[in-house]
Amino acid sequence: MAQRTVCLCDGKYIGIESIFTVVNGRQINIPDKVEVLREKSRRNELFCPCGCGANLILVAGDRNLREQHFRIKDLELEKKCHLVSEGLESVDSKIVLKCWLDDKLGDQDIESRVPIHAVDDINRKYEFTLLSRQNSVAVSYVHERMNLSDEKLTILETNSKDISIIYVVDEANGGTGGQYPERMMKIQFRQGYCLYLTIEGIDYYKATLRAAFFAQNADGFWCETTFANAPISAYGIGKDGQVAFGGTPLSDIAFLEKGRFESQQEIIKFQREQEARARAERIKKQREEEARKREERQRELQRKMQEAEKRRAEQEEQLRKQQEDEKKAKREQMEAFLESLKNCKIDQSRQVRDPQGNRWIQCKYCGKWALESAFASYGGRNEINLGVCYDCQNQHSVTIEKSQPEVKEIRKKYDPHECPECGGKLIRKVGRFGTFIGCSNYPSCRYTRQN
């Protein structure tokens, strides 16, 4: 924070910036004002503005301008001072602005930190940073834009009478990030543009002033457009209190630049609209082409499906005819097989099977030939293809019972190494369920038993 930068004298606030000026291109102290303040200090007429009643003395060396400030006299140190210190950058900015007004207006009686009640008879805490009554020009400097309240700006405006106000803020307040710059727009609404101050200490000739305005671009974002950026000494102040650059009021330059910016944005919007229409047309044509190709694919798919259905029907018809032919061939083979059973003598050494591999047996009693499932019993030595059908079993049950002793007698003479169905040799075999006994005449004889 800066040292004490303001005092109260004769009911007025005097800032340390009031002793600075510019003469022949050099920034110096004003000897007369320094001497006046020192004389008033000797007479104890400089007071602390916080109201503690302490007397102040001016410290204004000629070696280091930064040492210049007001300090409490040694005899007054026991008093409790409540003055809030001001930031060093804020003080340096006010010194630069004071030198700017001196340089451009030539007024040797510029006041600093002028409360509103000094301009009008109301008691408000708001003040003009600098005031030239001779030129009716005031400067309102704000270090942080958070202090740009509607109340402050309205009071300054309402009580300025015929005074032109120049609003200046620190450069750190620039930029938007695309958002609406609410507080800076309050200045732009009143001044037509915004002024940003950049300083290097209190050196007036190293300070720069940037003029800019805010407007929305074609995307709806808020942009800050700089239309003047130069050392503050390059800016003039007209008789009407208007800041000028290159002899042209900044308000006029801002108006032209705003028009140019808006025209550019309108061109961008128009181009985007044209591009959007062209893009929409391309998308429309693309969709139409896709729809046409989709219809073609659907027609092609439908054609292929019809062809596939036709081929399937042809294959089904071919398969049906093939199955009918196979059935017919099987039927003819079966008829030939059955016919052969009637006219030939059957060999009892091997099983009788039809073309499909089904085993056929002849009934001993009725002589009919039928599948093995139609017989109650069949097989035996020299009777592989003979058996008793279920019909004859019921009719000849007595005869069968009488023959049982003979069967038992035959079983007594049964050789375990001889196949009971065909008389072939029984051998040990290995299957997927383990070992078993089977006939060596397989596959003509399928007799098996457990091991």
pLDDT at position 248 is 95
pLDDT at position 224 is 95
Residue type, 438: G
Average pLDDT per 10 consecutive residues for the chain, totaling 451 residues: 76 82 74 84 85 82 62 70 77 91 89 73 70 93 88 85 93 90 93 95 93 94 95 94 95 96 95 94 95 94 94 93 90 83 74 86 87 86 85 69 47 66 83 83 82 73
Residue type, 306: Q
Helix, strand and coil in the chain, % to nearest 5? 45, 25, 30
pLDDT at position 298 is 95
The alpha carbon of 114 is separated from its chain's Cα centroid by a whole number of angstroms, namely 53
* Residue 268 CB coordination number (10 Å): 13
Find out whether the peptide bond into 443 is cis, omega within 30 degrees of 0.
yes
Q: How far apart are CA 70 and CA 57, in angstroms?
A: 5
- Strand-pair category, 434-439 with 448-450: antiparallel
pLDDT at position 119 is 56
CA atoms 170, 198, 212, 264: torsion sign: negative
pLDDT at position 77 is 65
pLDDT at position 273 is 94
Element (H, E) at 176: none
pLDDT at position 398 is 43
Among 119, 173, 181, 118, which Cα is nearest to 141's?
Answer: 173
pLDDT at position 411 is 45
pLDDT at position 64 is 47
Residue 248 to residues 242, 243, 314, 422, Cα–Cα distance (Å): 9, 8, 96, 133
Q: How far apart are CA 97 and CA 168, in angstroms?
A: 9
List the structure tokens of 80. 């409790």
